[in-house]
Chains A and B, each alone.
Chain A
Amino acid sequence: MGNNMQFLLSGLSIGGVYALVALGFSMMWSVARAANFTHGDIFMLGGVLTVAMFAAGLPLWAAAPLALVIAMVAAAAIERFLVRPFNKEANAIGWMLTTIAIGVMIESFATATYGPLPRPLPSPLAAEPIFVAGAGVFPQELLLPAVAVLAMLALYVFQRYTRTGQAIRAVATNRVAAGLMGIDADRITMFVFAAAGGLGALAGLLIAPVIQATTTMGLLIGLKSFMIAIISGITNPAGVVAVAIAFGVAERFIEGYLSTSARDAFGFTLMILVLLAFPQGIFGRKEVSKV
């Protein structure tokens, strides 16, 4: 009983990480029909940059926002120089190659400068665990799913009620038509990539006090989050967040009842089965265009 509660709580935490990162994939895919495969590394930078700048003497309140800004600028630059030029034709896949390549470089560079070892980040919310039904959890861990749900709601409100948000929806529906409305679809796309990068980096810096930040933490998280986005129907933000959190919880139960090494084998198998059953993703819709 106490164990199950423990699995649930830590599952919610890792699920929150997947949700924030996967939400970014969903946003990018919606406007560009492409994604930034360095997104896992942007997530890593959120944590690693905060730790590095904090270690260099910056107070946390300055280091964290600065890390977010750097990650967002990096994400915008990646869109401009590594995705846009390689996504000109319908069904282009050049952006995949360029972003995977630069992702490897980012990780190598980070390891060379930051070091290969995990480094801790102190947080007032990760100092004293609280106990829920006999299971101990840091408030910091519960922050993640809460922030993920808030981010999803904020995204919804933004897209629904602001002019820029409406333009984002228009670009997602039909880029050409959006251009004919006077919307600069390229600028909107860059903006969305930057915002997605910001969410990914936010997940990285929020989880850093719990797991200790390493330069390799982005690879698997990025990959899994992309798969989660796909199996949940990538253009449905609420669906993405729900599936991500559920997947995080499922992983922890597999870890708890079987082993850590069984986790990914079972997790990935589960994803493949879901995709077989729902080719458009669980909450996805077939893309239809009315002529």
Chain B
Amino acid sequence: MSAPILQVSGLRVAYGPITAVDGVDLEVGRGEFVGIIGSNGAGKSSTMRAVAGVLAPVGGSIHFDGTEVAGRKSHEMVAMGLAMVPEGRMIFGDQTVRENLMLGAYTRLARRDPDVVDDLEEVLELFPRLRERLDQLGGSLSGGEQQMLAVARGLLSRPKLLVVDELSLGLAPKILDLLFPILAKLNAGGLSILLVEQMASYALAVTQRTYVMENGRIRFSGPSADLARDDRVLDAYLGRRHDA
């Protein structure tokens, strides 16, 4: 059994005096598809930002691909093989779809990786809508198309681990029914994925294992199929009602 691609232990993230993440342990095995669910403000996104190097944790360790990376900057993490699809997508609205995709391959273009062209073709196969819009400005795309672009852009760095923060944010169910299977397909192709998601039902359906976060901590975790039947999850995150 090879070492996990990502191993987080005792992670603590704070914004000034406010602690957002208070001792989180989690891991993602190689080739695994792991989810983190929890309500708004549970600390999911802060955990992701620390893992991706967007903010520095105040404590704990983050092992990525065998190296201690806590405190490294996001641009270093991309070069090491971690790509994040950020919450809110963060498309470069004044640049074309093609330019956005090329920015996704920025570190590879810097080292003159010849496979970028083939990979571009591959992500366009995955998202045909983007091919039709290659020369449009990113800002002119619909929310769903922007999310496709954000995922495609992440893939073009050829990551070992893809971290997706709130894939469903602001998107219609029809788009989600398109996007979640694509993540499952990417995982089936061998990509390790860590997905943070408020829409627990979608996340539980595609991931293998799930962590449930509350108030900056992991409350419990387990195989997604089991959690989908767990009373605690059903009550809190899948909207089951207690009708007297």
Contact = CB atoms under 8 A, between A and B. Distances in A.
A183 B77 CA distance: 11
Chain B's interface size range is: 20 to 34
Given A177-B86, A179-B75, A184-B75, A169 B92 contact: yes
Chain A's interface size range is: 10 to 19
A291 B95 contact: no
A180 interface: yes
A181 interface: yes
Contacts of B171: none
Interface string B40-62: 00000000000011100000000
Contacts of A185: 75
Interface string A159-172: 00001001101100
B102 A166 contact: yes
B74 A173 contact: no
A163 B74 contact: no
18 contacts: A166-B99, A166-B103, A167-B103, A169-B92, A169-B95, A179-B53, A179-B74, A179-B78, A180-B54, A180-B83, A181-B103, A181-B153, A182-B106, A182-B157, A183-B75, A183-B103, A290-B91, A291-B88
Interface string B137-154: 001000000000000010
A88 B104 CA distance: 25
A163 B95 contact: no
Contact of B92 (A163, A173, A179, A182): A173
Contacts of B103: 166-167, 170, 178, 181, 183
Interface of A: 163, 166-167, 169-170, 173-174, 176-185, 290-291
Contacts of B78: 179-182
B238 interface: no
B86 to A, nearest CB: 6
Contacts of A291: 88, 170
B54 A173 contact: no
Contact of B90 (A166, A167, A177, A184): A177
Nearest to B141: A290
A182 B74 CA distance: 7
